[in-house]
Amino acid sequence: MTNPTVAEEWVAAPLKRLMEDARLLSGVLLYPSGRAVGQFGFSNAADVMSICALTSAINASARELGRQLDGKPFYEMHHAGAERQVFMARASAGAQEFLFVGVFDRESSLGVVAIYFAEFQKALEKLLPEKQKPAVGPTGDFEGELNRSLDALFGPIGKR
Amino acid sequence: MKGVSQVVATLSRVPGVVAAMVVGASDGLIIEASEVVGLSPGATDMRKPTAALAAYLYSKTTRASDAARLGTPAFMRLEAEKGHLCVVGASDVVLVTIVTPGANLGRVRIDMMNAARENA
């Protein structure tokens, strides 16, 4: 299992702990705008790019669906495939919101992942740098933001 | 077959049982749980993490038992400083109890295994 690669150093330790404790195969931490903050289990920037775009879109849809059906946004989603399962959830640290998507198999379980995700969320709250930039909404430059974060994770295009 | 509510009610009445739960074997999520005996107001409810980790532990124990060619585990008891954690598998669920150190473990074991047999 490889260590997470991160665009923001302070998330490295909690992300590594989540990966190990919950026995996740792969995972991506990102901002709701789609900008990647950290990842593990991926060696290809294109895969992370797709996951960020899809997770961001799924979060927006699920948030609205939750509002319509339950009066409040959904916080967690789970999809159980035949071999692998996907866990997707929102985490917040201060005013900053994050999305996390993780993949696991029969070596873990939804209950175990949910427990360690709750601990991960507490760690983010605790470790959030005081001088963290205030939460900002999407700038509209989705592709630019995503590419900059992928450069931080995998190195600039051409050197990946 | 007893309903899960009845299983939980039966197990939670056994002397020394602090909490009884029926938990999904594959996902570790609580299906039915009793109240926690003696849980003080504002104290952290330990049922959810206990359920998930106990189900996880039981699945690993099953593999260890299988690797040792001992077959399916009948009863799992984890003895800790302040009590016991007992787990019995029953088809797609596991029965989990949190038990005080001084409890009659023989009674707990028999009642859990009977409940599992009736649920299998």
Interface confidence (ipTM) of the complex: 0.84
The strand pair at B17-24 and B30-33 is best described as: antiparallel
**Structural tokens at position B62:** 């099953």
> How many Å apart are CA B70 and CA A100, to the nearest integer?
40
Ranking A72-81, B22-31, B73-82 by mean pLDDT, the lowest is: A72-81
> How many Å apart are CA A61 and CA A50, to the nearest integer?
16
What pLDDT is recorded for position A118?
Answer: 95
Query: Which is more confident, A155 or A158?
Result: A155
Segment A78-127, tens digit of pLDDT = 999 999 999 999 998 888 999 999 999 999 999 999 999 999 999 999 98
A109 and B26: CB-CB below 8 Å? yes
Considering only the C-alpha atoms of chain A, give the largest distance between any 2 of them, rounded to a whole number of Å.
Answer: 47
**Structural tokens at position B7:** 């299983």
Ranking A6-15, A62-71, B11-20 by mean pLDDT, the lowest is: A62-71
Cβ contacts of A56 within 8 Å, gap of 6 or more: A30, A32, A33, A34, A99
What pLDDT is recorded for position A112?
Answer: 96
Mean pLDDT of A16-38: 95
Give residue A34's identity as a one-letter amino acid code: G
Residue B88 main-chain phi, psi, to 5 deg? -135, 135
Taking a C-beta distance cutoff of 8 angstroms, is the pair A30, A55 a contact? yes
Model pTM greater than 0.90?
Answer: no
- Identity of the residue in A106, A108, A110 whose CB atom sits nearest the CB atom of B29: A110
Query: In a mutagenesis test of the A interface, which of B23, B26, B60, B93 is the best target, namely the one with the most A β-carbons within 10 Å?
Result: B26
A115 and B29: CB-CB below 8 Å? no
pLDDT at A138 over 60: no
> How many Å apart are CA A70 and CA B25, to the nearest integer?
29
Segment A37-63, tens digit of pLDDT = 999 999 888 999 999 999 999 999 988
Please enumerate residues of B whose Cβ is less than 8 A from a Cβ of A: 23-24, 26-29, 48-49, 51-53, 55-56, 59
- Identity of the residue in B28, B53, B59 whose CB atom sits nearest the CB atom of A110: B28
The strand pair at B30-33 and A96-104 is best described as: unpaired
Closest residue on chain A to B31 (Cα)? A111
How close A115 comes to chain B (CA, Å)? 6
pLDDT at A142 over 80: no
Segment A94-108, tens digit of pLDDT = 889 999 999 999 999
> How many Å apart are CA B18 and CA A156, to the nearest integer?
56
What pLDDT is recorded for position B1?
Answer: 44
What sign results for the dihedral spanned by CA atoms B56, B96, A87, A17? negative
Mean pLDDT of B11-33: 95
Gyration radius of chain B's alpha carbons: 13
